[in-house]
Structures are given as C-alpha cells and as structure tokens.
Amino acid sequence: MDDATSEVYYAQLVAQEDTRGVLRALREVVEERGLFCALYSDRASHFYLTPRAGEIVDRFRLTQVGRCMQQLGIGMIAAYSPQARGRSERAFRTWQGRLPQELRVRGLVSVAEANTFLRETYIREFNETFSVCAAQAGTAFVALKRTDLELIFSLQHERVVNRDNTVSFANLCLQIERAKWRSTLSGCRVTVYEHLSGMLSVGYGPHIIAQYDAQGKPMVLNKVKTRRQSQTEKQLSNRTIDVLQKADTLMC
C-alpha cells in the first residue's frame, strides 16, 4: 500500500506470510511501477533480524528481503508499534470487514477464486473508494533500468564447491559441468540462486554457470543476466555503434 495515497498495489491470500511471498509481491510492484523510496513494514523475521525480542532490529545482518532492497537502493523503515503503521492497520480492518462479505455474496469458496477476484475486481474497486490524492503532483517512483531482477528477487545462498565439482544444497547434489574458461571450480565460493519458481541457478562472480529444476536435475543454461553482464553488453554495444559511426564518416 502506498503511504501517500493509500492505494493498494498488490494483495493475495496466502496460507502464511513468508519470504517468498513478500519477494513475489515486491517484484510485481517494482516491475509494474518502478523503484520506490522506502519499504515501511513491521519487524517480522522475513524483514529484519532482531537479536532479542523487543529490541531494535539488526541493520547489518540482512534478511533475504533486506538484501534485495539494498541491491535495488530501496531503504527500509521498521515500525516499532501498531500505531506507527496506523494507516495500514486501519486498511486491514476495512479489508477484514468487507472482503469476506464480498466473497460470500459471490459464492467464492477457494483461495484461487478469491485471488482471481482480488486481482481482477476488488483491488480496483477498493482503490476507487478509499485511495486519496497525493499532496503533490507527479510520482515518486523511479523508472527501472535493471535487467537482473530474476537474480535479485531470489533467495541467495553462498556455498563452496566440493572437490568433485559439485555443490551441496538443501539435500541436493548439484553437479557443475566443466566450463571452457575453467575446468573445475573446486574450493571456489559460488552463489546458489533459489528462484521463486523453484528453479535453481549457480553463479560464480558475474557468470551463471549452471541451472537446475527444483529436484536438482540439470537444465539447459538460459541466459540470466547479472547487472555486471548487462553493463558490459551495453558498453560493448555503445563501442560498436561508435566504431560504425566513425567508419561511416570515413566512407563518406
């Protein structure tokens, strides 16, 4: 929900709020709207690590959501009381009072049906009724230029490659094939990207070196760009254009 206008950007019914669900929601908002200034949330464990109950959150040890927001340059603000998030709490009470009745009247009894109703009808009607105009014209969203959201909005885990060029992860043994630029990665630190779809990728520096399905079965390596790779390709593209322009000038 937008703190300035109370407009709801995303809503889904889930069994339990968790890291995957939060990342999925944030990705949809970022892709559709752009980058926002800050995420104001409660202190649930998927947002923050709190050393002791009731104490301030740890700003240095990041959760997966915290790491994701840091990579995108989005700040995080922790609420220390329900009153600090009064607008969202009031919105929740409105949803709790209205949504069950809307579902009952329409005879929607499954979570899938309810979520379809949320996406296609309810959110729009809710915003038309309860959202307000911002104090200033324009938007605070910044256009998204990054192309590596698939990696950013994943769960990232650091691992060390075994001697047999495998990576152990979640009771799986991920075999890394020999690369042209390096025969083995034994002893090297790699990153296992656990995608929201369940697919797994293994990254070494700026390279994605392997991909697997949720059961650890190797897949054909798709091109999942890191930010460094995207910047390099852009620089090479610009250089190519410069060379062609100079060549065209010389030919004239």
Helix orientation angle between 86-106 and 123-130, rounded to the nearest 10 degrees: 130
Where along the chain do its domains lie? 19-130, 149-228
Q: Is 42:65 a contact under the CB 8 Å cutoff?
A: no
Query: Which of 85, 118, 96 minimizes the C-alpha distance to 6?
Result: 85
**95 vs 220: CA distance, rounded Å:** 44
pLDDT greater than 90 at residue 18:
yes
pLDDT greater than 80 at residue 54:
no
pLDDT greater than 70 at residue 52:
yes
pLDDT greater than 50 at residue 244:
no
Residues 155-182 pLDDT 10s? 999 999 999 999 999 999 999 998 888 8
Q: What is the pTM of this model?
A: 0.82
Query: Domain 19-130 classified CATH 3.30.420?
Result: yes
